[in-house]
């Protein structure tokens, strides 16, 4: 491996015009396909196999033309008169009328005319009561009882609160999915509700149709990205002391991301991709692209201390650091590609897109970076504002902060190891209380119109109004005359659950072969009681199906989101096992050891546990009041595991390969650890600081989901890079001593012998470098 990449690096440096032409042709070719053949990306949210998805399919069979709740661009405008007044009073009735008139000019509105909550509630009550009375008369039932029950049912779904003070105007935009709603449409709705406010009347709006970033949000996202790049430039500048060198990793990473995202767009010509696919590719591609170029560039500068031959220096840099880049990239690719194991199509698409971008980042670092250095030659480290002149010991070895830290850990490795395990273990304890759910208007920031609308609805109608469930009843196997009674039995079954506030027949299809039953829970969509209710309904549905001869499915937005959360939670152990298992095998090949990959894996688990614990503590439970308490978004843990695993293995590979390189060239295990930190700690620290700065910037955005993701990712990098890799790993390496490189002979014969550390390369200066041990070090105390 090292010899092959050694030759590749030298060739790219010497033949830089050919390399640049090759990358330019790739960019132009992929760009041409993306421009001329690409198709729109899909926004359909579908998870095959979950119960609510099966219920939705059943609903579409029985009620052709009906769609999934997740794809409906619903809007709920909430109007509230002052205390002691009613919406039917003036001037509030007039303001509502003006609001409805203004909404008719909003683009993408439904063709059916809208009505105010007072009129809609009255018409709905009359219709429900009339149907109930007619049904009772036809079957000889108790008309009075039917009327009373119908009035209760009407009140349960009425758009007007019992006191007449709060009402809702419900509709859905005429689009296929919420992502098809244009920003201008949302802006017009916001303008209309602003005009309707006055005389003490509150007007707010919520719903999936009003989600999405407007111009301000886009500018916020761009500013966060620019801040991240700016911080990366500053860190790189201080790392290299050169403005030109600082720009090289960002330049090459940017080219890699551009090609990766353009390639994803081009792939839409051949396969349907989700619109969220480029998001992860951009974030991960930029991060690892900067890291990989940073590692090779730092090794190149280090080699220039031993030779004036720049071609030889870049060959060694690509042969050694480049080998580490290949295997680090491979672990990231495994973590991302394994997202397909979740069974969630949009996550799988994001994983494969990001994995492809990581592969491009590796190729860019191995070929394009040497080519650019071939162009610059002696100017690669131009623009110096600080000259690197480290202190050296009596043998001429560099004594920097990494060396001093490694020696400090070496004085009491058992104490450092125990301290890390105890501290991270304690931080991880709250992760046992992790509650996964999807965001809702009830969990939006308190100053948003969505949250204000949700609070008004919860106060006037009860929390369950925002968590409706829809039971689809298939009566095709029931005799025609028995179907109405069977449907009512299902209604009674649903209403009999303690956590159901109301259950009623929502309608039947024209043939009478299917029915829809509306279920209103007592609690909100993110409440564990609602999730338990869904489980209870499904656990007991077999009994009512047997009694009535029907088939039942439960769907609706709440059910779909709950099922999705459960699918992700169920997939987590398999995902974790596959990722860790494959990466363990790769690390065994890289390090020719069993114990080193084991310590890397255990350290990663500590990092993830501590990160989840901290996220639960600050975001779910709202400790210190820094963030509003709310459930953790369902896909954060699996994303977090994938991303953190990739980054953690990056740091592990780059740090420990330098330790092993020193060891195989004659250094003792103690000097090998110190030498690994001498050459890698500075670069790993710079890479981690860049990642932390980029991720933490998202905590300053207004959306709690983005804030929690930014917090979790930045905390994970801090825990893993600075606590696990900088403290735990060297402590364990000291404690294991020469045993760290133990590998059974039978396994040694099976594993391919891949030279990652450049043992096969001709570097005579290493013999002198490791000829003597560091006499200044103290013995290791265990």
Per DSSP, 180 falls in state G
Cα 419 to chain centroid distance, Å, stands at 30
pLDDT at 89: 93
In terms of domains, do 425 and 322 share one?
no
Rounded to an integer, the average pLDDT of 769-781 is 45
What are residue 219's phi and psi, to 5 degrees?
A: -65, -35
pLDDT in tens, 365-381: 999 999 999 998 888 88
pLDDT at 768: 55
| pLDDT at 619 exceeding the cut of 50 | yes
In terms of domains, do 317 and 430 share one?
no
In terms of domains, do 331 and 268 share one?
yes
Cα(67)–Cα(558) distance, integer angstroms: 15
The DSSP result for 115-171, as a single string, is: --HHHHHHHHHHHHHHHHHHHHHHHT--HHHHHHHHHHHHHHH-SB-TTSSEEEEEE
| pLDDT at 758 exceeding the cut of 60 | no
pLDDT at 779: 42
Rounded to an integer, the average pLDDT of 334-351 is 83
Establish if 507 belongs to a structural domain.
Answer: no
% of the chain exceeding 90 in pLDDT: 35
In terms of domains, do 621 and 582 share one?
yes
Establish if 543 belongs to a structural domain.
Answer: no
Q: Which of 386-390, 481-485, 570-574, 647-651 has the highest mean pLDDT?
A: 481-485
| pLDDT at 687 exceeding the cut of 90 | no
Rounded to an integer, the average pLDDT of 263-272 is 81
Rounded to an integer, the average pLDDT of 438-442 is 77
Residue 374's H or E segment, with its range, is helix 369-376
Domain that holds residue 8: 1-37+241-389
pLDDT at 118: 94
Contacts of residue 169, defined as CB under 8 A and 6 or more positions apart, other chains included, come to 76, 77, 79, 96, 99, 100, 114, 115, 116, 117, 120, 159
Establish if 191 belongs to a structural domain.
Answer: no
Contacts of residue 46, defined as CB under 8 A and 6 or more positions apart, other chains included, come to 53, 68, 345
Beta bridge partners of 77: 169, 205
Given pLDDT bands bounded at 50, 70 and 90, which one contains residue 775? very low
In terms of domains, do 322 and 442 share one?
no
Tokens 């029950």 belong to which residue? Answer: 149
Establish if 192 belongs to a structural domain.
Answer: no
Cα(315)–Cα(2) distance, integer angstroms: 9
Q: Give the domain CATH number at 744.
A: 1.20.1640.10
In terms of domains, do 377 and 411 share one?
no
pLDDT at 428: 93
Listed range (146-160, 416-430, 494-508, 625-639) with the worst mean pLDDT: 625-639
Q: Which of 46-55, 438-447, 664-673, 720-729 has the highest mean pLDDT?
A: 720-729
Establish if 419 belongs to a structural domain.
Answer: yes
| pLDDT at 122 exceeding the cut of 80 | yes
Residue bearing the bigger pLDDT, 604 or 1: 604
The DSSP result for 296-334, as a single string, is: HHHHHHHHTTT-S-HHHHHHHHHHHHHHHHHHHHHHHHH
Rounded to an integer, the average pLDDT of 249-275 is 84
pLDDT at 23: 92
Helices vs strands, H then E, count in the chain? 26, 11
pLDDT in tens, 197-227: 999 999 999 998 887 644 344 444 455 667 7
In terms of domains, do 424 and 276 share one?
no
In terms of domains, do 442 and 334 share one?
no
Taking only Cα atoms into account, the Rg of the chain, rounded to an integer number of angstroms, comes to: 31
Asked whether the CA dihedral 138, 143, 149, 155 is positive or negative, the reply is positive
Torsion (CA) 369, 370, 371, 372 in degrees, nearest 10: 50
Cα(189)–Cα(99) distance, integer angstroms: 10
In terms of domains, do 575 and 712 share one?
yes
pLDDT at 554: 94
Given pLDDT bands bounded at 50, 70 and 90, which one contains residue 782? very low
Contacts of residue 406, defined as CB under 8 A and 6 or more positions apart, other chains included, come to 673, 674, 676, 677, 678, 681, 730
Establish if 235 belongs to a structural domain.
Answer: no
Listed range (69-83, 169-183, 266-280) with the worst mean pLDDT: 266-280
| pLDDT at 274 exceeding the cut of 90 | no
Sort residue 207 into left (φ over 0), alpha (ψ -120 to 50) or beta.
left
pLDDT in tens, 47-89: 778 899 899 889 999 998 777 777 788 999 999 999 999 999 9
Sort residue 532 into left (φ over 0), alpha (ψ -120 to 50) or beta.
alpha
In terms of domains, do 381 and 426 share one?
no
Given pLDDT bands bounded at 50, 70 and 90, which one contains residue 544? very high
pTM: 0.79
Establish if 536 belongs to a structural domain.
Answer: no
Q: Which of 286-300, 390-404, 460-474, 625-639 has the highest mean pLDDT?
A: 460-474
% of the chain exceeding 70 in pLDDT: 91
pLDDT at 780: 40
Picking from 532, 516, 536, 526, the residue whose alpha carbon sits closest to that of residue 557 is: 526
Secondary structure string (H, E, C) spanning 551-577: EEEEECHHHHHHHHHHHHHHHHHHHHH
Establish if 420 belongs to a structural domain.
Answer: yes
Q: How many domains does the chain have?
A: 2
| pLDDT at 194 exceeding the cut of 90 | yes
In terms of domains, do 326 and 430 share one?
no
Structure tokens at 646: 């990739």
pLDDT at 776: 42
pLDDT at 518: 94
- Number of neighbours of residue 745 by Cβ within 10 angstroms: 7
In terms of domains, do 429 and 336 share one?
no
pLDDT averaged over every residue in the chain = 85
């Amino acid at each position: 491996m090292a010899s092959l990449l050694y030759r590749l690096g030298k060739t790219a440096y010497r033949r830089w015009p050919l390399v640049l032409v090759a990358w330019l042709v790739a960019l132009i070719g992929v760009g041409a396909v993306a421009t001329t053949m690409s198709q729109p990306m899909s926004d359909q949210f579908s998870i095959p196999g979950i119960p609510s998805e099966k219920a939705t399919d059943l609903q579409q069979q029985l009620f052709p033309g009906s769609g999934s709740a997740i794809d409906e661009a619903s809007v709920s405008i909430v109007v509230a008169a002052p205390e002691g007044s009613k919406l039917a009073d003036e001037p509030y009735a007039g303001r509502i009328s003006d609001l409805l008139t203004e909404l008719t000019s909003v683009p993408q509105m439904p063709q059916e005319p809208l009505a105010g909550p007072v009129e809609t509630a009255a018409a709905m009550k009359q219709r429900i009561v009339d149907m109930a009375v007619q049904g009772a008369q036809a079957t000889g039932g108790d008309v009075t009882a039917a009327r009373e029950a119908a009035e209760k049912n009407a009140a349960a779904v009425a758009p007007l609160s019992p006191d007449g003070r709060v009402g809702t105007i419900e509709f859905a935009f005429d689009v296929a999915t919420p992502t098809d709603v244009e920003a201008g449409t949302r802006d017009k709705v916001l303008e209309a509700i602003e005009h309707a406010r006055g005389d003490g009347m509150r007007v707010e709006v919520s719903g999936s149709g009003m989600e999405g970033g407007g111009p301000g949000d886009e500018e916020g996202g761009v500013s966060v990205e620019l801040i991240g790049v700016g911080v990366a430039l500053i860190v790189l500048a201080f790392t290299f002391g050169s403005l030109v060198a600082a720009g090289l990793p960002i330049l090459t990473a940017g080219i890699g991301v551009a090609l990766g995202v353009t390639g994803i767009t081009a792939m839409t010509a051949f396969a349907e991709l989700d619109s969220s696919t480029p998001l992860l590719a951009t974030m991960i591609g930029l991060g690892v692209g900067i890291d990989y170029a940073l590692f090779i560039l730092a090794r190149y500068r280090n080699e220039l201390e031993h030779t004036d031959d720049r071609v030889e220096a870049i060959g060694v840099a690509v042969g050694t650091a480049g080998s580490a880049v290949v295997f680090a990239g491979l672990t990231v690719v495994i973590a991302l590609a394994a997202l397909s194991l979740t069974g969630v199509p949009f996550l799988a698409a994001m994983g494969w897109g990001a994995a492809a971008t990581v592969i491009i980042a590796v190729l860019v670092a191995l070929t394009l970076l040497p080519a650019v250095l071939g162009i610059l030659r002696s100017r690669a480290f131009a623009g110096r504002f600080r000259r690197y002149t480290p202190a050296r010991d009596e043998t001429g070895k560099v004594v920097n902060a990494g060396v001093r830290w490694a020696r400090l850990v070496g004085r009491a490795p058992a104490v450092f190891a125990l301290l890390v395990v105890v501290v991270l273990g304690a931080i991880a304890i709250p992760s046992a209380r992790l509650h996964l759910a999807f965001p809702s208007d009830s969990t939006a920031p308190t100053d948003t119109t969505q949250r204000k609308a949700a609070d008004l609805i919860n106060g006037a109608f009860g929390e369950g109004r925002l968590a409706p469930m829809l039971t689809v009843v298939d009566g095709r196997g029931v005799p025609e005359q028995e179907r109405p009674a069977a449907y009512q039995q299902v209604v009674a079954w649903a209403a009999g659950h303690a956590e159901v506030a109301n259950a009623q027949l929502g309608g039947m299809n024209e043939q009478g072969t299917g029915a829809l039953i509306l279920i209103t829970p007592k609690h909100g969509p993110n409440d564990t009681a609602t999730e338990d209710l869904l489980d209870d309904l499904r656990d007991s549905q077999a009994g009512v199906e047997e009694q009535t001869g029907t088939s039942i499915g439960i769907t609706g937005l709440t059910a779909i989101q709950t099922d999705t959360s459960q699918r992700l939670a169920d997939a987590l152990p398999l995902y974790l096992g596959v990722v860790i298992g494959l990466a363990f095998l790769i690390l065994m090949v890289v390090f020719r050891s069993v114990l080193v990959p084991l310590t890397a894996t255990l350290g990663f688990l500590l990092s993830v546990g501590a990160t989840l614990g901290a996220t639960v503590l600050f975001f779910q439970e709202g400790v210190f009041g820094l963030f509003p308490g709310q459930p953790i978004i369902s896909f954060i843990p699996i994303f977090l595991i994938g991303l953190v695993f990739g980054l953690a293995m990056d740091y592990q590979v780059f740090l420990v390969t330098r330790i092993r390189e020193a060891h195989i060239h004659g250094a003792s295990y103690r000097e090998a650890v110190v030498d690994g930190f001498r050459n890698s700690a500075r670069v790993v620290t710079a890479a981690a600081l860049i990642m932390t700065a980029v991720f933490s910037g998202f905590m300053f955005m207004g959306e709690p989901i983005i804030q929690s993701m930014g917090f979790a990712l930045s905390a994970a990098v801090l825990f893993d890079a600075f606590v696990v890799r900088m403290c735990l790993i060297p402590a364990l390496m000291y404690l294991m001593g020469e045993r760290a490189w133990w590998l059974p002979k039978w396994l040694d014969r099976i594993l391919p012998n891949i030279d990652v550390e450049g043992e096969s390369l001709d570097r005579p200066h290493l013999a002198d470098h490791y000829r003597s041990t560091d006499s200044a070090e103290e013995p290791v105390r265990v």
